[in-house]
Amino acid sequence: MSEELHGTITIDEERIMKALEHAEEDAVQVREVLAKALELKGLNADEATVLMRIQSPELEEELFETARKVKDEIYGRRLVLFAPLYVSNLCANDCTYCAFRAGNKAVKRRALNYEEVIEETRILINQGHKRVLLVAGESYPKEGIDYVLKCIDTIYSVKSEWGEVRRINVNLAPLSLDEFKRLKERRIGTFQLFQETYHRETYSKVHISGKKRDFDWRITAMDRAMLAGIDDVGIGVLFGLYDWRFDVLALLQHNNHLEERFGVGCHTISVPRIEPAVGAEVSEHPPVPVNDRDFKKLIAILRLTVPYTGIILSTRENPEMRREALAMGVSQISAGSRTNPGGYHEEAYEMSQFSLGDHRSLDEVVEDIAHMGYIPSFCTGCYRLGRTGKDFMDLAKPGLIKHYCEINALSTFTEFLEHFASPITKEVGDKLVDKIVSEQPATRKERANNVVQKVRAGERDVYV
C-alpha cells in the first residue's frame, strides 16, 4: 500500500472487457435478474452486466418498470433538493471537457471573497434552500485549502430570519489524509469526487496537465476521506468520455472496494453527462456520447444494483429527462442552480462551468415536482442526528429509514411552503402534503400529521 495514497484500488479492466464482449440479450436471464432485484437486496456485477445487454424495447420497459417499483418501495415519493455554490473557478488542471481548465482564456478567473460567499448563501437561504453543495476548481487563493475551509465556516455562519444552511456537501479535488481530517472537522455532509472515467487510457487522454493527471491519487481519495472519518462519500462518472457500460461496472468495483475496506460503500452516485462548456472542445463533441435511452438504462441498472445508494442528477439535464430519471431511480437533484462563482447575485452566465439544461427557479422546480406527486425534501435530519455512513445503511437496508425520511420530507417541504413558495406552488404543495399524510400507514399517520401541524403553526426545524 502506498504511503502517500493510503490505499490501492485496481480496476479489473480485463474482466470488464470480457464481460462486455458477449453482447447477446438473454430474456430468461434478464427476467431472473429483474425478479431478484425486486427483493431489494441489490445485484452483483454479473447480474448488472446481464441487464446491460438488454436491446429489445419490451425487456427495456420491464427494466424501467422494475426500477420504478424499487425506487418507489425504498424512496417513496420524496426527492431531495440542493443548490450548488461555486466559490472559485481557479484551476491548475487541464481537463479537456471543462470550462475552468487552466488553458481556457475565455473564462475570467475569480475566487469569491468571504463577503461574496455570505451574499450568495443569503440568496440561497432566501429562496428556501437548506442543503448546499460547495464546488471549486483545483487551485486556491493564497490561503490554499484554508480558503475552502473558511468558505464552509462562512456558509454555516449565515443566519437569516428565513433560516440557514443546514448541510454543506463539497465537490473538491482529492485531498491528503491530513487535509481530509481538517475538512471533517468542518462538519461537512458528503464529500463528492467523480473519477470522470475509470478507463485509464481515456483518463490520461482527457486530463492533459496538472495534478488531476494522476489517476491513482484521484481513485484513492475516498479511501483517505474515509480514513479521516468522513462517513459519507459520493462517487461518479462523467458520462460521454468512455463506454458507459465499462464505467458503470468499474464504478461498482470502486464501491465494492469501499464496502470491503470500510464496511460501507458510497453514500451517493452522481451521473453527470458532458454538457457544452465555453472553451472546452471535447464538451461539444463527447468522445462516446450517451444517448437518452442508454442514460435511462444506466440509471435504472444502478437503482437495481445498489438500491440504498442515493443517485444524484445535477443541473445539467433538461426538465424532460429529469422527470423520467426521477421515476427510474434518481433520489436527489439540484434546483435553481448557477455554475459560476457569484452566479446567484450577479446573474451572469458567461463564466459558467457548462451550459445549464434547466434554467428554472427553485420555486418553479418545486411546483413541477409537486405536480408530479413527489415531495421535495430539504431534510438534513440523518446527518444532524449522526445517522451517517454504516449507521445510515444499517437503518436503510431493512427499510427503517423510511420511517424518518417521509416525515422529515413533509416537515421541510411544509416549511418551504410556509415561507418561500409562490401562491400557486403553495396551493399545489399544501394539497399534496395533506394527501401524503392521509396515505401514511397507521403507524406513522399521527406522527406525520403532528409534525406538519407544528410547522404550519410556526415551529421550525422539526425533525425525527
Beta strands in 21-153 (DSSP E): 78-88, 94-95, 131-136
> Which of ligand SAM, ligand SF4, none sits in contact with 301, Cβ below 5 to 8 A by type?
none
Least distance from ligand SAM to the Cβ atom of residue 283, Å:
4
Q: Does the protein bind ligand SF4 through residue 101 (CB under 6 A)? A: yes
Q: Does the protein bind ligand SF4 through residue 275 (CB under 6 A)? A: no
Residues from 87 through 116 that contact ligand SAM (CB under 6 A): 97-98, 100
Q: Which three cell numbers stand for residue 49?
A: 452486466
- Kindly provide the b/e burial profile for residues 78-87, where b requires at least 16 CB atoms within 10 angstroms of the residue's own CB: bbbbbbbbbb
Q: CA dist 370 to 263, 314, 358, 427, Å?
A: 36, 18, 17, 10
Q: Does the protein bind ligand SAM through residue 381 (CB under 6 A)? A: no
List 33, 95, 134, 335, residue binding ligand SF4 (CB under 6 A):
95
Q: Does the protein bind ligand SAM through residue 199 (CB under 6 A)? A: no
Region binding ligand SAM by CB under 6 A among candidate stretches 26-34, 190-198, 402-410, 416-424: 190-198
Judge contact between 97 and 242, C-beta under 8 A.
Answer: no
> Which of ligand SAM, ligand SF4, none sits in contact with 238, Cβ below 5 to 8 A by type?
ligand SAM
- Residue in this structure with the C-alpha cell 475551509, named with its chain if needed: 149
Q: CA dist 125 to 62, 165, 413, Å?
A: 41, 7, 14
Report the C-alpha gap between 70 and 76 in whole angstroms. Answer: 9
Q: For residues 47 and 138, which CB has a smaller minimum distance to ligand SAM in the complex?
A: 138
Region binding ligand SF4 by CB under 6 A among candidate stretches 96-104, 120-128, 155-163, 395-403: 96-104
Q: For residues 199 and 212, which CB has a smaller minimum distance to ligand SF4 in the complex?
A: 212
Report the C-alpha gap between 306 and 396 in whole angstroms. Answer: 12
Q: Which three cell numbers stand for residue 331?
A: 433520489
- Residue in this structure with the C-alpha cell 441487464, named with its chain if needed: 51
Least distance from ligand SF4 to the Cβ atom of residue 247, Å:
16
- Kindly provide the b/e burial profile for residues 95-108, where b requires at least 16 CB atoms within 10 angstroms of the residue's own CB: bbbbbbbbebeebe
Region binding ligand SF4 by CB under 6 A among candidate stretches 95-103, 226-234, 285-293, 456-464: 95-103
**Element (H or E) spanning 436, and its range?**
helix 423-439
> Which of ligand SF4, ligand SAM, none sits in contact with 392, Cβ below 5 to 8 A by type?
none
Least distance from ligand SAM to the Cβ atom of residue 267, Å:
17
Q: Does the protein bind ligand SAM through residue 283 (CB under 6 A)? A: yes
Least distance from ligand SF4 to the Cβ atom of residue 221, Å:
13
Report the C-alpha gap between 464 and 462 in whole angstroms. Answer: 7
> Which of ligand SF4, ligand SAM, none sits in contact with 101, Cβ below 5 to 8 A by type?
ligand SF4
Side chain identity at residue 215, one-letter code: F
Q: Where does residue 431 rank: exposed (0-12), middle (13-18), buried (19+ CB within 10 A)?
A: exposed
Rg (CA), the chain: 21
Q: Where does residue 253 rank: exposed (0-12), middle (13-18), buried (19+ CB within 10 A)?
A: middle
Q: For residues 30 and 251, which CB has a smaller minimum distance to ligand SF4 in the complex?
A: 251
* Residue length of the chain: 464
Side chain identity at residue 142, one-letter code: K
- Kindly provide the b/e burial profile for residues 303-329, where b requires at least 16 CB atoms within 10 angstroms of the residue's own CB: bbbbbbbbbbbbbbbeeebbbebbbbb
Q: Number of H helices and number of E strands within the chain?
A: 21, 13
Q: Does the protein bind ligand SF4 through residue 240 (CB under 6 A)? A: no
Q: Does the protein bind ligand SAM through residue 194 (CB under 6 A)? A: yes
Region binding ligand SAM by CB under 6 A among candidate stretches 109-117, 276-284, 417-425, 429-437: 276-284
Region binding ligand SF4 by CB under 6 A among candidate stretches 7-15, 18-26, 89-97, 407-415: 89-97
Residues from 129 through 148 that contact ligand SF4 (CB under 6 A): 137-138
List 75, 82, 86, 100, residue binding ligand SF4 (CB under 6 A):
100
> Which of ligand SAM, ligand SF4, none sits in contact with 406, Cβ below 5 to 8 A by type?
none
The 116-155 contact track toward ligand SAM, x by CB under 6 A, reads: -------------------x-xx-----------------
List 34, 43, 50, 98, residue binding ligand SF4 (CB under 6 A):
98
CA nearest 251: which of 170, 188, 305, 317?
Answer: 305
CA nearest 250: which of 304, 203, 183, 297?
Answer: 203
Residues from 323 through 362 that contact ligand SAM (CB under 6 A): 353-354
Q: For residues 52 and 193, which CB has a smaller minimum distance to ligand SAM in the complex?
A: 193
Residues binding ligand SAM (CB under 6 A): 97-98, 100, 135, 137-138, 171-173, 193-194, 196, 238, 272, 274-275, 277, 280, 283, 316, 353-354
Residues binding ligand SF4 (CB under 6 A): 91, 93, 95, 98, 100-101, 137-138, 212
